[in-house]
Chain A
Protein backbone atom coordinates (compact mmCIF):
# COMPACT_ATOMS: atom_id res chain seq x y z
CA UNK A 1 0.00 0.00 0.00
CA UNK A 2 1.50 3.32 -1.04
CA UNK A 3 1.65 6.14 1.48
CA UNK A 4 0.09 8.48 -1.07
CA UNK A 5 -2.74 5.99 -1.65
CA UNK A 6 -3.40 5.80 2.09
CA UNK A 7 -3.86 9.56 2.01
CA UNK A 8 -6.37 9.17 -0.80
CA UNK A 9 -4.07 11.02 -3.19
CA UNK A 10 -3.17 9.41 -6.51
CA UNK A 11 -1.56 12.44 -8.05
CA UNK A 12 0.27 15.34 -6.62
CA UNK A 13 -1.29 18.74 -7.35
CA UNK A 14 1.61 19.72 -9.61
CA UNK A 15 1.23 16.42 -11.46
CA UNK A 16 -2.41 17.26 -12.08
CA UNK A 17 -1.41 20.71 -13.30
CA UNK A 18 1.24 19.21 -15.59
CA UNK A 19 -1.31 16.74 -16.87
CA UNK A 20 -3.91 19.45 -17.45
CA UNK A 21 -1.44 21.79 -19.15
CA UNK A 22 -0.05 19.05 -21.37
CA UNK A 23 -3.51 17.86 -22.36
CA UNK A 24 -4.74 21.42 -23.04
CA UNK A 25 -1.70 22.20 -25.18
CA UNK A 26 -1.92 18.86 -26.98
CA UNK A 27 -5.65 19.25 -27.71
CA UNK A 28 -5.16 22.87 -28.80
CA UNK A 29 -2.34 21.90 -31.18
CA UNK A 30 -4.38 18.96 -32.52
CA UNK A 31 -7.39 21.21 -33.13
CA UNK A 32 -5.18 23.83 -34.83
CA UNK A 33 -3.53 21.22 -37.09
CA UNK A 34 -6.89 19.63 -37.98
CA UNK A 35 -8.39 23.09 -38.63
CA UNK A 36 -5.50 24.09 -40.90
CA UNK A 37 -5.75 20.84 -42.90
CA UNK A 38 -9.55 21.18 -43.05
CA UNK A 39 -9.20 24.72 -44.36
CA UNK A 40 -6.68 23.67 -47.02
CA UNK A 41 -8.91 20.74 -48.04
CA UNK A 42 -11.97 23.00 -48.20
CA UNK A 43 -10.12 25.53 -50.37
CA UNK A 44 -8.89 22.77 -52.70
CA UNK A 45 -12.42 21.42 -53.06
CA UNK A 46 -13.63 24.95 -53.78
CA UNK A 47 -11.00 25.38 -56.51
CA UNK A 48 -11.98 22.02 -57.98
CA UNK A 49 -15.64 23.07 -58.00
CA UNK A 50 -14.75 26.43 -59.61
CA UNK A 51 -12.81 24.69 -62.38
CA UNK A 52 -15.79 22.41 -63.02
CA UNK A 53 -18.17 25.39 -63.18
CA UNK A 54 -15.75 27.45 -65.29
CA UNK A 55 -16.51 25.51 -68.48
CA UNK A 56 -20.27 25.97 -67.92
CA UNK A 57 -19.82 29.71 -67.34
CA UNK A 58 -17.60 29.98 -70.43
CA UNK A 59 -20.42 28.44 -72.45
CA UNK A 60 -22.91 30.96 -71.00
CA UNK A 61 -20.48 33.80 -71.68
CA UNK A 62 -20.14 32.70 -75.33
CA UNK A 63 -23.93 32.65 -75.68
CA UNK A 64 -24.17 36.15 -74.20
CA UNK A 65 -21.45 37.54 -76.52
CA UNK A 66 -23.33 36.13 -79.49
CA UNK A 67 -26.55 37.80 -78.29
CA UNK A 68 -24.69 41.09 -77.63
CA UNK A 69 -23.32 40.92 -81.17
CA UNK A 70 -26.85 40.68 -82.56
CA UNK A 71 -28.00 43.52 -80.32
CA UNK A 72 -25.02 45.67 -81.37
CA UNK A 73 -25.89 45.23 -85.04
CA UNK A 74 -29.59 45.88 -84.49
CA UNK A 75 -29.34 48.50 -81.74
CA UNK A 76 -31.39 50.99 -83.78
CA UNK A 77 -34.27 48.45 -83.80
CA UNK A 78 -34.11 46.93 -80.30
CA UNK A 79 -32.49 47.82 -77.00
CA UNK A 80 -33.59 44.76 -75.07
CA UNK A 81 -30.66 43.29 -73.11
CA UNK A 82 -30.31 39.49 -73.54
CA UNK A 83 -31.34 37.57 -70.39
CA UNK A 84 -31.24 33.92 -69.33
CA UNK A 85 -32.83 31.80 -66.59
CA UNK A 86 -29.58 29.94 -66.09
CA UNK A 87 -27.30 32.87 -65.32
CA UNK A 88 -27.08 36.57 -64.54
CA UNK A 89 -24.76 38.90 -66.40
CA UNK A 90 -23.30 42.38 -66.52
CA UNK A 91 -21.26 44.38 -69.03
CA UNK A 92 -18.65 47.07 -68.36
CA UNK A 93 -16.69 49.42 -70.64
CA UNK A 94 -12.89 49.72 -70.70
CA UNK A 95 -13.05 52.24 -67.83
CA UNK A 96 -14.94 49.61 -65.78
CA UNK A 97 -18.09 51.71 -65.95
CA UNK A 98 -21.22 49.57 -65.74
CA UNK A 99 -23.19 49.56 -69.00
CA UNK A 100 -25.92 47.14 -67.90
CA UNK A 101 -26.45 44.45 -65.29
CA UNK A 102 -29.10 41.86 -64.47
CA UNK A 103 -27.71 41.34 -60.95
CA UNK A 104 -27.79 43.48 -57.82
CA UNK A 105 -24.47 42.16 -56.51
CA UNK A 106 -21.44 44.42 -56.64
CA UNK A 107 -19.05 42.79 -59.07
CA UNK A 108 -15.27 42.64 -59.18
CA UNK A 109 -13.27 42.78 -62.39
CA UNK A 110 -9.81 42.10 -60.96
CA UNK A 111 -10.25 38.32 -61.03
CA UNK A 112 -11.20 36.00 -63.87
CA UNK A 113 -12.97 33.37 -61.78
CA UNK A 114 -14.14 33.90 -58.23
CA UNK A 115 -16.62 32.71 -55.62
CA UNK A 116 -18.33 35.33 -53.49
CA UNK A 117 -21.61 35.45 -51.54
CA UNK A 118 -22.43 31.91 -52.70
CA UNK A 119 -22.27 33.02 -56.34
CA UNK A 120 -19.67 31.93 -58.92
CA UNK A 121 -18.46 34.68 -61.27
CA UNK A 122 -16.56 34.53 -64.55
CA UNK A 123 -15.10 37.68 -66.10
CA UNK A 124 -14.52 37.46 -69.85
CA UNK A 125 -12.92 39.94 -72.27
CA UNK A 126 -14.35 39.48 -75.78
CA UNK A 127 -12.38 40.12 -79.00
CA UNK A 128 -14.77 42.89 -80.08
CA UNK A 129 -16.46 45.22 -77.63
CA UNK A 130 -20.11 44.81 -78.61
CA UNK A 131 -22.10 47.75 -77.21
CA UNK A 132 -18.78 48.94 -75.81
CA UNK A 133 -18.60 45.96 -73.42
CA UNK A 134 -14.96 45.22 -72.69
CA UNK A 135 -15.71 43.15 -69.57
CA UNK A 136 -18.49 40.58 -69.64
CA UNK A 137 -19.38 39.07 -66.28
CA UNK A 138 -21.55 35.97 -66.05
CA UNK A 139 -22.58 34.54 -62.69
CA UNK A 140 -24.48 31.53 -61.44
CA UNK A 141 -25.65 30.48 -58.00
CA UNK A 142 -23.74 27.78 -56.17
CA UNK A 143 -25.82 24.62 -55.65
CA UNK A 144 -23.91 24.09 -52.32
CA UNK A 145 -23.72 20.35 -52.90
CA UNK A 146 -19.94 20.41 -52.96
CA UNK A 147 -19.72 22.42 -49.71
CA UNK A 148 -22.14 20.13 -47.86
CA UNK A 149 -20.23 17.07 -49.07
CA UNK A 150 -16.89 18.64 -48.15
CA UNK A 151 -18.11 19.70 -44.68
CA UNK A 152 -19.42 16.18 -44.07
CA UNK A 153 -16.04 14.72 -45.07
CA UNK A 154 -14.20 17.22 -42.84
CA UNK A 155 -16.40 16.36 -39.83
CA UNK A 156 -15.98 12.60 -40.32
CA UNK A 157 -12.23 12.59 -41.08
CA UNK A 158 -11.52 15.43 -38.61
CA UNK A 159 -13.38 13.52 -35.88
CA UNK A 160 -11.55 10.26 -36.63
CA UNK A 161 -8.20 12.09 -36.67
CA UNK A 162 -9.04 13.88 -33.41
CA UNK A 163 -9.90 10.59 -31.67
CA UNK A 164 -6.77 8.96 -33.07
CA UNK A 165 -4.65 11.88 -31.83
CA UNK A 166 -6.34 11.65 -28.42
CA UNK A 167 -5.34 7.98 -28.14
CA UNK A 168 -1.78 8.87 -29.15
CA UNK A 169 -1.83 11.71 -26.61
CA UNK A 170 -2.98 9.36 -23.87
CA UNK A 171 -0.19 6.89 -24.66
CA UNK A 172 2.38 9.71 -24.75
CA UNK A 173 1.07 11.08 -21.46
CA UNK A 174 1.46 7.71 -19.78
CA UNK A 175 5.02 7.48 -21.10
CA UNK A 176 5.87 11.01 -19.90
CA UNK A 177 4.32 10.50 -16.47
CA UNK A 178 5.95 7.13 -15.84
CA UNK A 179 9.23 8.58 -14.42
CA UNK A 180 7.22 10.94 -12.19
CA UNK A 181 5.01 8.10 -10.94
CA UNK A 182 8.10 5.94 -10.34
CA UNK A 183 9.73 8.74 -8.32
CA UNK A 184 6.63 9.14 -6.11
CA UNK A 185 6.35 5.36 -5.62
CA UNK A 186 10.03 5.24 -4.66
CA UNK A 187 9.59 8.07 -2.13
CA UNK A 188 6.49 6.38 -0.70
CA UNK A 189 8.31 3.08 -0.38
CA UNK A 190 11.24 4.84 1.27
CA UNK A 191 8.98 6.55 3.83
CA UNK A 192 7.21 3.28 4.56
CA UNK A 193 10.47 1.37 5.07
CA UNK A 194 12.01 4.17 7.17
CA UNK A 195 8.92 4.32 9.38
CA UNK A 196 9.08 0.60 9.98
CA UNK A 197 12.80 0.66 10.84
CA UNK A 198 12.42 3.72 13.17
CA UNK A 199 9.73 2.20 15.36
CA UNK A 200 11.77 0.08 17.79
CA UNK A 201 14.80 2.40 18.42
CA UNK A 202 12.64 5.51 18.88
CA UNK A 203 10.33 3.76 21.34
CA UNK A 204 13.33 2.45 23.28
CA UNK A 205 15.03 5.88 23.51
CA UNK A 206 11.86 7.74 24.56
CA UNK A 207 10.89 5.08 27.16
CA UNK A 208 14.37 4.97 28.68
CA UNK A 209 14.71 8.77 28.94
CA UNK A 210 11.36 8.92 30.75
CA UNK A 211 12.60 6.27 33.21
CA UNK A 212 15.74 8.26 34.16
CA UNK A 213 15.53 9.92 37.59
CA UNK A 214 16.97 13.36 36.83
CA UNK A 215 17.04 14.48 40.48
CA UNK A 216 19.92 12.09 41.25
CA UNK A 217 22.05 13.40 38.36
CA UNK A 218 24.37 16.39 38.26
CA UNK A 219 23.44 19.51 36.22
CA UNK A 220 25.79 18.82 33.27
CA UNK A 221 24.37 15.34 32.83
CA UNK A 222 20.76 16.66 33.07
CA UNK A 223 21.55 19.10 30.23
CA UNK A 224 22.92 16.24 28.14
CA UNK A 225 19.89 14.09 28.93
CA UNK A 226 17.62 17.04 27.97
CA UNK A 227 19.38 17.34 24.62
CA UNK A 228 18.90 13.61 24.03
CA UNK A 229 15.24 14.07 25.08
CA UNK A 230 14.79 16.88 22.50
CA UNK A 231 16.44 14.81 19.78
CA UNK A 232 14.35 11.77 20.65
CA UNK A 233 11.12 13.84 20.65
CA UNK A 234 12.01 15.32 17.25
CA UNK A 235 12.58 11.83 15.84
CA UNK A 236 9.41 10.68 17.58
CA UNK A 237 7.43 13.48 15.91
CA UNK A 238 8.78 12.59 12.50
CA UNK A 239 8.05 8.94 13.19
CA UNK A 240 4.47 9.75 14.20
CA UNK A 241 4.01 11.88 11.08
CA UNK A 242 5.30 9.11 8.88
CA UNK A 243 3.15 6.55 10.65
CA UNK A 244 0.11 8.72 10.14
CA UNK A 245 1.07 9.18 6.52
CA UNK A 246 1.29 5.45 5.86
CA UNK A 247 -1.48 4.26 8.10
CA UNK A 248 -3.55 7.40 8.72
CA UNK A 249 -6.63 6.32 6.81
CA UNK A 250 -6.55 2.88 8.36
CA UNK A 251 -6.55 4.15 11.93
CA UNK A 252 -10.03 3.94 13.40
CA UNK A 253 -10.95 7.27 14.94
CA UNK A 254 -11.97 7.32 18.61
CA UNK A 255 -13.94 10.52 18.61
CA UNK A 256 -14.61 12.29 21.91
CA UNK A 257 -15.14 15.81 23.22
CA UNK A 258 -11.67 17.32 23.52
CA UNK A 259 -10.88 20.22 25.81
CA UNK A 260 -8.81 22.29 23.40
CA UNK A 261 -7.29 24.54 26.07
CA UNK A 262 -6.06 21.47 28.03
CA UNK A 263 -4.65 19.92 24.88
CA UNK A 264 -2.94 23.20 23.96
CA UNK A 265 -1.30 23.49 27.39
CA UNK A 266 -0.21 19.84 27.24
CA UNK A 267 1.35 20.20 23.80
CA UNK A 268 3.05 23.51 24.72
CA UNK A 269 4.67 21.76 27.65
CA UNK A 270 5.79 18.95 25.36
CA UNK A 271 7.45 21.44 22.99
CA UNK A 272 8.91 23.73 25.67
CA UNK A 273 12.21 21.94 25.85
CA UNK A 274 12.53 21.91 22.05
CA UNK A 275 11.68 25.62 21.83
CA UNK A 276 14.42 26.45 24.33
CA UNK A 277 17.07 25.32 21.86
CA UNK A 278 16.16 28.37 19.74
CA UNK A 279 15.37 30.54 22.77
CA UNK A 280 11.75 30.73 21.61
CA UNK A 281 9.00 31.62 24.08
CA UNK A 282 5.75 29.70 23.69
CA UNK A 283 2.77 31.20 25.46
CA UNK A 284 -0.94 30.51 25.44
CA UNK A 285 -3.89 32.88 25.53
CA UNK A 286 -7.18 31.28 26.49
CA UNK A 287 -9.91 33.71 25.45
CA UNK A 288 -12.66 31.15 25.89
CA UNK A 289 -12.68 27.45 26.70
CA UNK A 290 -13.85 25.34 23.79
CA UNK A 291 -14.65 21.71 22.90
CA UNK A 292 -14.07 19.78 19.71
CA UNK A 293 -15.59 16.35 18.97
CA UNK A 294 -12.76 14.47 17.27
CA UNK A 295 -10.01 11.89 17.74
CA UNK A 296 -7.64 13.29 20.37
CA UNK A 297 -4.50 11.74 18.86
CA UNK A 298 -5.29 13.25 15.45
CA UNK A 299 -6.01 16.74 16.80
CA UNK A 300 -2.87 16.42 18.92
CA UNK A 301 -0.95 15.53 15.73
CA UNK A 302 -2.45 18.54 14.01
CA UNK A 303 -1.42 20.86 16.83
CA UNK A 304 2.04 19.24 17.08
CA UNK A 305 2.65 19.90 13.43
CA UNK A 306 1.61 23.54 13.75
CA UNK A 307 3.83 24.03 16.83
CA UNK A 308 6.71 22.13 15.27
CA UNK A 309 6.54 24.32 12.14
CA UNK A 310 6.26 27.45 14.27
CA UNK A 311 9.49 26.48 16.06
CA UNK A 312 11.26 25.22 12.95
CA UNK A 313 10.62 28.34 10.88
CA UNK A 314 10.99 30.82 13.73
CA UNK A 315 13.96 33.07 14.36
CA UNK A 316 16.22 32.66 17.39
CA UNK A 317 14.61 34.39 20.36
CA UNK A 318 11.22 34.56 18.65
CA UNK A 319 7.71 34.15 20.10
CA UNK A 320 4.87 31.73 19.57
CA UNK A 321 1.39 32.46 20.90
CA UNK A 322 -1.35 29.84 20.88
CA UNK A 323 -4.77 31.49 21.16
CA UNK A 324 -7.89 29.50 22.08
CA UNK A 325 -11.27 31.07 21.33
CA UNK A 326 -14.81 29.82 20.88
CA UNK A 327 -14.70 27.05 18.21
CA UNK A 328 -11.27 28.22 17.13
CA UNK A 329 -7.57 28.02 17.98
CA UNK A 330 -4.57 29.58 16.28
CA UNK A 331 -0.77 29.40 16.33
CA UNK A 332 0.89 32.77 15.78
CA UNK A 333 4.66 32.88 15.27
CA UNK A 334 7.28 35.56 14.65
CA UNK A 335 9.08 33.52 11.99
CA UNK A 336 10.27 33.89 8.41
CA UNK A 337 6.74 34.02 6.97
CA UNK A 338 5.49 32.73 3.63
CA UNK A 339 5.21 34.70 0.37
CA UNK A 340 1.61 35.39 -0.64
CA UNK A 341 1.88 33.38 -3.87
CA UNK A 342 3.14 30.33 -1.98
CA UNK A 343 0.34 30.19 0.63
CA UNK A 344 -1.99 28.22 -1.68
CA UNK A 345 0.73 25.61 -2.33
CA UNK A 346 1.75 25.14 1.27
CA UNK A 347 -0.61 22.28 2.01
CA UNK A 348 0.83 20.20 -0.82
CA UNK A 349 2.92 17.24 0.15
CA UNK A 350 6.73 17.59 0.06
CA UNK A 351 6.50 21.39 -0.28
CA UNK A 352 8.94 23.38 1.77
CA UNK A 353 9.62 27.05 1.44
CA UNK A 354 12.85 27.24 3.35
CA UNK A 355 15.53 24.82 2.31
CA UNK A 356 17.66 25.69 5.36
CA UNK A 357 15.35 23.80 7.70
CA UNK A 358 15.10 20.07 7.45
CA UNK A 359 11.98 17.95 7.09
CA UNK A 360 9.98 16.12 4.49
CA UNK A 361 7.51 18.91 3.90
CA UNK A 362 4.62 16.67 4.94
CA UNK A 363 3.57 18.49 8.13
CA UNK A 364 0.94 20.81 6.70
CA UNK A 365 -0.23 18.11 4.33
CA UNK A 366 -1.10 16.00 7.41
CA UNK A 367 -2.75 19.06 9.00
CA UNK A 368 -4.78 19.50 5.86
CA UNK A 369 -5.82 15.81 5.78
CA UNK A 370 -6.92 15.82 9.42
CA UNK A 371 -8.76 19.13 8.92
CA UNK A 372 -10.57 17.65 5.92
CA UNK A 373 -11.64 14.62 7.97
CA UNK A 374 -13.27 16.78 10.70
CA UNK A 375 -14.43 19.66 8.44
CA UNK A 376 -12.03 22.07 10.13
CA UNK A 377 -11.32 25.32 8.38
CA UNK A 378 -7.64 26.25 8.07
CA UNK A 379 -6.74 29.89 7.48
CA UNK A 380 -3.14 30.87 6.86
CA UNK A 381 -2.15 34.52 6.98
CA UNK A 382 1.49 35.41 6.67
CA UNK A 383 3.90 38.24 6.08
CA UNK A 384 7.47 37.60 4.99
CA UNK A 385 9.97 38.21 7.84
CA UNK A 386 7.13 39.17 10.24
CA UNK A 387 5.41 35.88 10.95
CA UNK A 388 2.69 33.40 10.16
CA UNK A 389 -0.68 32.80 11.79
CA UNK A 390 -2.43 29.50 11.23
CA UNK A 391 -6.02 29.42 12.48
CA UNK A 392 -8.14 26.29 12.85
CA UNK A 393 -11.88 26.83 13.24
CA UNK A 394 -14.96 24.60 13.18
Chain B
Protein backbone atom coordinates (compact mmCIF):
# COMPACT_ATOMS: atom_id res chain seq x y z
CA UNK B 1 0.00 0.00 0.00
CA UNK B 2 2.77 2.38 1.06
CA UNK B 3 4.69 1.46 -2.08
CA UNK B 4 1.71 2.30 -4.24
CA UNK B 5 1.28 5.67 -2.56
CA UNK B 6 4.96 6.49 -3.05
CA UNK B 7 4.76 5.45 -6.71
CA UNK B 8 1.66 7.57 -7.32
CA UNK B 9 3.26 10.58 -5.57
CA UNK B 10 6.47 10.19 -7.60
CA UNK B 11 4.56 10.01 -10.86
CA UNK B 12 2.52 13.04 -9.88
CA UNK B 13 5.72 14.93 -9.05
CA UNK B 14 7.25 14.02 -12.41
CA UNK B 15 4.18 15.05 -14.32
CA UNK B 16 4.05 18.29 -12.39
CA UNK B 17 7.72 18.96 -13.27
CA UNK B 18 7.19 17.87 -16.83
CA UNK B 19 4.41 20.37 -16.94
CA UNK B 20 6.80 23.24 -16.12
CA UNK B 21 9.22 22.06 -18.78
CA UNK B 22 6.54 21.40 -21.40
CA UNK B 23 4.68 24.67 -20.85
CA UNK B 24 7.62 26.99 -20.45
CA UNK B 25 10.36 25.45 -22.60
CA UNK B 26 8.98 23.15 -25.28
CA UNK B 27 6.15 25.50 -26.21
CA UNK B 28 8.49 28.32 -27.30
CA UNK B 29 11.23 26.10 -28.79
CA UNK B 30 8.63 24.41 -31.02
CA UNK B 31 8.38 27.61 -32.96
CA UNK B 32 12.16 27.67 -33.69
CA UNK B 33 13.73 25.77 -36.59
CA UNK B 34 16.36 24.23 -34.29
CA UNK B 35 14.96 21.42 -32.15
CA UNK B 36 15.35 21.70 -28.34
CA UNK B 37 17.75 18.70 -28.03
CA UNK B 38 20.41 20.45 -30.12
CA UNK B 39 20.88 23.04 -27.35
CA UNK B 40 21.39 20.19 -24.86
CA UNK B 41 24.24 18.67 -26.89
CA UNK B 42 25.78 22.12 -27.41
CA UNK B 43 25.93 22.51 -23.62
CA UNK B 44 27.20 18.95 -23.18
CA UNK B 45 30.05 19.65 -25.60
CA UNK B 46 31.27 22.48 -23.40
CA UNK B 47 30.27 21.63 -19.82
CA UNK B 48 30.58 17.82 -19.76
CA UNK B 49 29.17 17.02 -16.30
CA UNK B 50 25.58 17.18 -15.04
CA UNK B 51 26.30 19.76 -12.33
CA UNK B 52 28.30 22.13 -14.55
CA UNK B 53 25.77 21.87 -17.36
CA UNK B 54 22.71 22.51 -15.19
CA UNK B 55 24.40 25.49 -13.47
CA UNK B 56 25.39 26.97 -16.83
CA UNK B 57 21.85 26.57 -18.23
CA UNK B 58 20.14 28.12 -15.18
CA UNK B 59 22.63 30.95 -15.19
CA UNK B 60 22.00 31.63 -18.87
CA UNK B 61 18.21 31.43 -18.54
CA UNK B 62 18.33 33.98 -15.72
CA UNK B 63 20.85 36.26 -17.34
CA UNK B 64 20.97 35.59 -21.09
CA UNK B 65 23.89 37.35 -22.82
CA UNK B 66 25.84 37.14 -26.06
CA UNK B 67 29.02 36.44 -24.07
CA UNK B 68 27.62 33.42 -22.24
CA UNK B 69 25.66 31.74 -24.99
CA UNK B 70 26.81 28.37 -26.29
CA UNK B 71 25.24 28.93 -29.70
CA UNK B 72 27.21 30.07 -32.73
CA UNK B 73 27.49 33.70 -33.81
CA UNK B 74 25.50 32.92 -36.98
CA UNK B 75 22.67 31.50 -34.85
CA UNK B 76 22.67 34.54 -32.57
CA UNK B 77 22.71 37.02 -35.42
CA UNK B 78 19.77 35.22 -36.99
CA UNK B 79 17.65 34.52 -33.90
CA UNK B 80 19.11 36.90 -31.35
CA UNK B 81 19.46 36.42 -27.59
CA UNK B 82 16.47 34.98 -25.77
CA UNK B 83 14.51 36.99 -23.24
CA UNK B 84 15.18 36.66 -19.54
CA UNK B 85 13.14 33.81 -18.02
CA UNK B 86 10.28 34.78 -15.75
CA UNK B 87 10.32 31.44 -13.96
CA UNK B 88 11.34 31.24 -10.32
CA UNK B 89 14.62 29.56 -9.27
CA UNK B 90 12.78 26.38 -8.26
CA UNK B 91 10.77 26.23 -11.43
CA UNK B 92 13.92 26.68 -13.48
CA UNK B 93 15.61 23.85 -11.60
CA UNK B 94 12.60 21.59 -12.12
CA UNK B 95 12.48 22.32 -15.84
CA UNK B 96 16.23 21.77 -16.26
CA UNK B 97 16.02 18.47 -14.33
CA UNK B 98 13.36 17.23 -16.75
CA UNK B 99 15.44 18.45 -19.68
CA UNK B 100 18.54 16.57 -18.33
CA UNK B 101 16.57 13.38 -17.74
CA UNK B 102 15.11 13.51 -21.24
CA UNK B 103 18.36 13.98 -23.18
CA UNK B 104 21.18 12.76 -20.91
CA UNK B 105 23.71 10.31 -22.38
CA UNK B 106 24.06 8.18 -19.23
CA UNK B 107 22.43 4.80 -19.61
CA UNK B 108 21.53 5.34 -23.26
CA UNK B 109 24.70 4.17 -24.98
CA UNK B 110 24.71 0.60 -26.21
Contacts and interface: CB of A to CB of B under 8 A. Distances in A.
Interface of A: 72, 75-76, 79-81, 93-95, 97, 99-100, 128-134
B77 to A, nearest CB: 22
B48 A94 contact: yes
A93 B41 CA distance: 14
A132 B49 contact: yes
A72 B103 CA distance: 12
Contacts of B108: 79
Interface string B70-109: 0000000000000000000000000000000000011011
7 contacts: A80-B110, A94-B48, A95-B52, A97-B50, A132-B45, A132-B47, A133-B48
B105 A75 contact: yes
A94 B105 contact: no
A181 B104 CA distance: 87
A130 B49 contact: no
Given A75-B105, A99-B105, A131-B105, A94 B110 contact: no
Q: Binding site of A, secondary structure by majority: helix, strand, loop or mixed? A: loop
B110 A75 contact: no
Contacts of A100: 105, 109
Contacts of B41: 72, 75
B14 interface: no
Given A95-B48, A128-B45, A128-B46, 12 more contacts: A80-B110, A81-B109, A94-B52, A95-B49, A95-B52, A97-B50, A99-B105, A129-B44, A132-B44, A132-B47, A132-B105, A134-B48
Interface residues of B, number: 17
B50 A93 contact: yes
B51 interface: yes
Contact of A130 (B45, B53, B110): B45
Most central of A81, A99, A134 by chain B CB within 10 Å: A99
Nearest to B44: A132
Contacts of A128: 45-46
B73 to A, nearest CB: 17
A119 B14 CA distance: 44
A130 B45 CA distance: 5
A128 B53 CA distance: 14
Nearest to B40: A75
Interface in B33-57: 37, 41, 44-53
A129 B44 CA distance: 7
A76 B37 contact: yes
Contacts of B47: 94, 129, 132
A99 B49 CA distance: 10
Contact of A131 (B44, B49, B52): B44
Given A72-B41, A75-B105, A99-B105, A129 B48 contact: yes
A73 to B, nearest CB: 8
Given A72-B41, A75-B41, A131-B105, A81 B110 contact: yes
Contacts of B52: 94-95
A245 B35 CA distance: 112
Contacts of A97: 49-50, 106
B103 to A, nearest CB: 8
A206 B44 CA distance: 117
A97 B52 CA distance: 13
Contacts of A93: 48-50
A80 B46 CA distance: 22
Nearest to A96: B49
A129 B46 contact: yes
| Centre residue among A76, A79, A129, A130 by max chain B CB count within 10 A | A129
